[in-house]
Amino acid sequence: MVDTMGHLLWTDIRPANVADGKAGVLLWEQAEHLNPLLDDLVLMYADSTFGGHFKEQLETIYDMRVVIPRTPVKEQPIDSNLVIHHWRWIVERTISWLGNNRRLSKDYERTILSAQTFIWIAHIRRTLQRVWH
């Protein structure tokens, strides 16, 4: 989960066989309790895979507006498999920034905790580089 500037707000790692919507609700429940920055959040942009269960739960239980952008940034896709939607590119950009770290370029970690820790370390390094340059 990132803010509109691409700063990491929360991260969670789930098995690939967990649906995005269910994983998103679990992520939000965990993040809400541990990150005080999320208390004032009233609007969230999400990918279309979060349009069902996730959107319903957050709008009903947490009184949050979940927007699923459907308008492409560019009318004609750049590539037949690539369509960039408004706001979604911010998450993709953050994932790319994190992937620039050698430790995160492949799945080297044996535990979920160490994988999450290296994601946070990569984010801290990127933030510090921006401050110092």
Q: What is the pLDDT along the chain (133 residues), one digit of tens a residue?
A: 888 888 888 888 888 788 888 888 888 988 988 888 888 889 998 888 888 889 999 999 888 999 988 777 766 555 566 667 777 778 888 888 888 887 787 777 788 888 889 889 999 998 998 888 7
Give burial (CB, 10 Å; 0-12/13-18/19+) of 5: exposed
Q: How far is CA 114 from CA 36, 40, 110, in A?
A: 23, 29, 7
pLDDT at 98: 85
What distances in angstroms separate CA 123 from CA 25, 106, 132, one per listed residue?
23, 16, 14
pLDDT of residue 80: 61
Long-range contact pairs involving 12-16 (C-beta distance under 8 Å, separation at least 24): 12/116, 13/112, 13/115, 13/116
CA 105 to chain centre: 17
Using DSSP's 3-state secondary structure scheme, residue 62 falls into coil
